[in-house]
Every structure is written in C-alpha cells, then in structure tokens.
Amino acid sequence: MSTTRKKPRKPSVKASAKKNPQISIVDTAAPTVATNADFVARREAAVPRGVASAAPIYAKYAENAELWDVESNRYIDFVGGIGVLNTGHRHPKVVEAAKLQEDHYTHTSFQVVPYGPYIELAEKLNELAPGDAPKKTLLVTTGAEAVENAVKIARAATGRPGVIAFTGGYHGRTLLTLGMTGKISPYKKDVGPFPSDIFRAPFPSVRDGITVEDALTGLQNLFLTDAQPERIAAIIIEPVLGEGGYTPVPFEMMQALRDICDQHGILLIADEVQAGFGRTGTWFAIEHSGVVPDLITVAKSMAGGYPLAGVIGRADLMDAVIPGGLGGTYGGNPVACAAALAAIEAIKEEGLLARSTSMGAHLKARFAEIGARTAPFRMWDIRGLGAMVAVEFVTDFGSAKPDADLTKRVIAHALRRGLLLLSCGLHGNTVRVMVPLTASDEIVEEGLAIFEAALAEAVAEEQH
C-alpha cells in the first residue's frame, strides 16, 4: 500500500508539534484551555446529553490520519469523522480550494443568486454516477436531508406514498429518516411516533440465519400483508450497512431488488452517504453489484470534511418536483462545493479507488492474523468491501453470542494507547474501520499494532 499525498506547508509551530506533540499548537478556533477535563465540564453545562461523543478528548489539530487533542496527545484516526475523511484531515487540495472560494463569496443561497461551483459539482456527480440515462443533482447540507429529499422526489415522480427500508439500515435522525432507520437505540428511543407509510423488510443476515431467499420472501410477504406494491414509491437500501454493522448487501439481493422495482414501478434508492466516494474501492458501493439505482443519496466524504450532501438521479425523476419544491437556504454552499470538487479530483489523481481495494485486502488479512494470534475464536467475522472493513466480536464461536463488552473494552484501550475506533451493529459488537484512504502504510501499521495491543489487554481483563 502506498499514497502519493504531499505534505501541506504549515506554520512552524504546527510542524514542530507534529514532531513533538508536547509543543502547544495554537488553536484559533476556540479559547485556549488547559485540559480535556476543562471542556468536559463546559460541555456538560452547555450541550444536551443527547449529543453523545465516543471519546472524551477535544481536538486541537489534525492532518491526514493523525489528530492531536488540546493536551497535545497524538492519535491515529481510524474513524475519519464517521466516514467523512476518505481524503484525510485537511487535504491540501481541499483546503486550498475552500480558501480560494472564501475570497470570492461564502453564501448567497442558490435559491436567490445561483453560482458556478454548484453547477460544476452537479455536472461532476452526474458524470460519476452509474448508468447511461441523463442525470441531475440536487445539493443539500446533510445526509438525512438528502434522504428526505430522495423520498420527496420519489413520491412526486410516482404519485405514491410508501417507502420500504430494511432491518439494520441507517438513514438519518430526523423524524422521517428515523422512520426508515432500522435500529432503536440510541436513535429512535423515546422520540416516536414516526411517519406512516414506511415499511420494513428483512435484511439477509448470516448471524440471524436469514438467507437472500428468506429476505426476498419476507419482502413478498410484506407486499401481501402491509405494503401494497402499487402504493410504494421507493425501496431504499444501503449497499453496505453503516450503523447496522458494515455488512455488504449480497449482489444477488441487489439485483433481485432491481427486478422487483422494475416489475412494480417502484424506484430504487441507493443510500451511499457512508459508502460513497471511494470507501469501497468504487465511486459508489452499488457499482460492485452491477445494479443501476434510480436515485443515489450522497454526503460524508464527498466534500473532504465540509458539510455537503445531495441526491443524484435520473433527470426525468429529478424534474418531477415543481420549481421551489426542492432546496434550502444553505443547500450546496459554495465553499463546500469547491471543497467537494477538490476532494473528487484528489481521489482521481491519487488513485484512491485502487488504494481502497488494496488497503481493504491488507486490513482483512492483518485482522485475521491478529485474531488468530491474540484472541482465538473471538473474531466471528471480518467483512466489508474495499476499505470499508469491520470486525465482529463474539464470546465464542460455538454460540456466536455478540460480545459488546469486549468491543467496548477494545475501543477504550485503543483510545488510551492513541488509536481512535468506533463501534457499530445492532448488538454493538462490531468495530468498523474508516481510516483515511490517504493514510500511509506506516500509519496504518501503527494503528493495527495498537489495535492488537488493545485487544490483548481487553481479553486479559476477562481472566482476572
């Protein structure tokens, strides 16, 4: 594995801090504080508890796949802002493009005075999306907003109200998207009721003994019992489950969904918010299956860390909503559009699609070695597409009982040793890897060494 990313030029104090993390890094974005504990106290007083954070540290500086907290402690980042940083923290091309745009204008609202970066990015996304049909793109701000607009477009285009989603799928935290999200805690707990005309089909799961045939039978039964096909506007699915456990949709399942949608006049929405822009080795994860969706929702790594999302779809479908029916004050912010154009160019120039494929193969091989050596019969599954990789922990192979406690301990020990990790899955027993595709071989190996040490420590605790 290798990367061609060049180091950006930085002020000397930051360059020195990178070599010696004990040197203070000037942070112009926040008041100077002495410790993480200072921020913890202020946070508890100012921020609602519902906004949870995985790590009790506060960022001061980050570059590529490394991050320093306010106490100048260094961390290797295997989280990437939850899949937002495929091109790494502060990619020089992304930062430069954003700064250049800021010198012209930062906001006009595309609904008032439109601008070129929005159109240029829409053209680029239309070009990248799979399928030969003419396409158009709507730009918004968040992934949930993209999903909601995809549903609006599907309903307008079909004249139907219903939406089918899948067990374990994650589509956002707004009330409409929570109706589609297939996981109660922590997202849906205590905040219902949710909108009507949203139905849930089973997702094929080796763990739960649900085959592709079982899942498709469940969908057909749903058509017979609750979701009349003629009233369904869209089926939405993540080509790789995100919060649900980094489980790829079997290709035959995706192909069958395409056939079912065509049979009943239903639109197929691929939610690529987390899997898109190179994370799986292709621009969009659905490309692995050969299936062309009608609509694609995008966000996260599209803009290299800037808040931007969108819906890409067939032009005839995208034009179904009347003028004024789509948009939003901040949608397609020009600075974020400029950053996205630069991030897309970086993915192309630096060969990050191929990098994702090779990195993913390496990660899987190394996790298998680590599991066999350090925690035999505890890694029940190592899975993913490209560098969208996850490790699932169990108490033992015989029962395959999910082990969320071990997972939590591994993440806690990894943090203490300087590695940022995040869990996922319905049972909270899966560690997912979202390390920037620009990370060097040395950084990836350092992170894996920390992971193994943390795993060994977490397993040893059980013996005391």
pLDDT digits (tens, 9 = 90+) for 236-293: 999 999 999 999 999 999 999 999 999 999 999 999 999 999 999 999 999 999 999 9
Is the pLDDT assigned to residue 2 strictly greater than 50? Answer: no
Six-digit token pair at 345?
């160019």
The residues near 280 (Cβ < 8 Å, ≥ 6 apart) are: 239, 240, 288, 356, 360, 384, 385, 386, 387, 388
Residue 428: exposure state from Cβ atoms within 10 A (0-12, 13-18, ≥19): middle
Six-digit token pair at 282?
């292709």
H or E element, residue 261: helix 251-264
Instruction: Report pLDDT digits (tens) over 121-153.
Output: 999 999 999 999 999 999 999 999 999 999 999
DSSP of 79-122: SHHHHT-TT-BT-HHHHHHHHHHHTT-S---TTTS--HHHHHHH
Average of per-residue pLDDT values in the chain: 92
What's at 403, amino acid-wise? D
Query: What SS3 state is found at 309?
Result: strand
Given a contact cutoff of 8 angstroms between Cβ atoms, the answer to whether 57 and 73 are in contact is yes
Q: What percent of the chain has pLDDT over 70?
A: 92
pLDDT band at 89 (very low <50, low <70, confident <90, very high): very high
Query: What SS3 state is found at 429?
Result: coil
Strand order across the 388-393 sheet: 379-385, 388-393, 430-433, 422-424
Q: What percent of the chain has pLDDT over 90?
A: 84
Is the pLDDT assigned to residue 59 strictly greater than 70? Answer: yes
pLDDT of residue 16: 38
Report the pLDDT averaged over residues 298-311: 98
Is the pLDDT assigned to residue 26 strictly greater than 90? Answer: no
Report the pLDDT averaged over residues 351-370: 98
Is the pLDDT assigned to residue 449 strictly greater than 60? Answer: yes
Six-digit token pair at 434?
């979202």
Q: Give Cα separations from 54 to 132, 146, 344, 424 (angstroms).
A: 42, 25, 29, 12
What's at 89, amino acid-wise? H
pLDDT of residue 180: 81
Q: How far is CA 45 from the centre of its chain?
A: 30
Is the pLDDT assigned to residue 21 strictly greater than 90? Answer: no
pLDDT of residue 191: 66
Cα 18 from Cα 14, distance rounded (Å): 6
Cα 257 from Cα 277, distance rounded (Å): 23
Give the number of other Cβ atoms within 10 Å of residue 367's Cβ. Answer: 22
Start and end residues for every CATH 3.40.640.10 domain found in the chain: 96-349
Residues 407, 144, 97, CA angle at the centre, nearest 5°? 95
pLDDT of residue 196: 85
Cα 105 from Cα 341, distance rounded (Å): 16
Is the pLDDT assigned to residue 401 strictly greater than 90? Answer: yes
Cα 107 from Cα 335, distance rounded (Å): 8
- DSSP 8-class letter at 206: T
pLDDT band at 193 (very low <50, low <70, confident <90, very high): confident
Residue scoring higher pLDDT (208 or 81): 81
Report the pLDDT averaged over residues 222-227: 96
Query: What SS3 state is found at 353?
Result: helix
- H-type helices in 285-427, by residue range? 315-318, 334-349, 352-374, 404-417
Given a contact cutoff of 8 angstroms between Cβ atoms, the answer to whether 51 and 16 are in contact is no
Give the number of other Cβ atoms within 10 Å of residue 73's Cβ. Answer: 16
**Closest alpha carbon to 293 in 398, 154, 107, 197:** 154
At the fourth CATH level, the homologous superfamily of domain 12-90+351-461 is Aspartate Aminotransferase, domain 1 (3.90.1150.10)
Q: Which of 1-15, 263-277, 362-376 has the lowest mean pLDDT?
A: 1-15
What's at 85, amino acid-wise? L
pLDDT of residue 35: 94
Start and end residues for every CATH 3.90.1150.10 domain found in the chain: 12-90+351-461
pLDDT of residue 179: 80
- DSSP 8-class letter at 8: P
pLDDT of residue 405: 97
Q: Give Cα separations from 117 to 123, 181, 427 (angstroms).
A: 10, 32, 42
Q: What are phi and psi of 234, to 5 degrees?
A: -155, 150
SS3 content of the chain, % helix, strand, coil (to 5): 40, 15, 45
pLDDT band at 19 (very low <50, low <70, confident <90, very high): very low
Is the pLDDT assigned to residue 8 strictly greater than 50? Answer: no
Evaluate whether the domain defined by 96-349 bears CATH number 1.10.150.120: no
pLDDT of residue 29: 52
Is the pLDDT assigned to residue 13 strictly greater than 50? Answer: no
Six-digit token pair at 389?
């990789």
Given a contact cutoff of 8 angstroms between Cβ atoms, the answer to whether 62 and 68 are in contact is yes
Characterise 195 by phi-psi region: left (phi > 0), alpha (psi -120 to 50), beta (else): beta
Instruction: Report pLDDT digits (tens) over 414-423.
Output: 999 999 999 9
Q: What are phi and psi of 211, to 5 degrees?
A: -80, 170
Residue scoring higher pLDDT (6 or 393): 393
Query: What SS3 state is found at 44?
Result: helix
pLDDT band at 31 (very low <50, low <70, confident <90, very high): low
Given a contact cutoff of 8 angstroms between Cβ atoms, the answer to whether 355 and 277 are in contact is no
What's at 414, amino acid-wise? A
pTM: 0.91
Is the pLDDT assigned to residue 17 strictly greater than 60? Answer: no
Six-digit token pair at 307?
């808040």
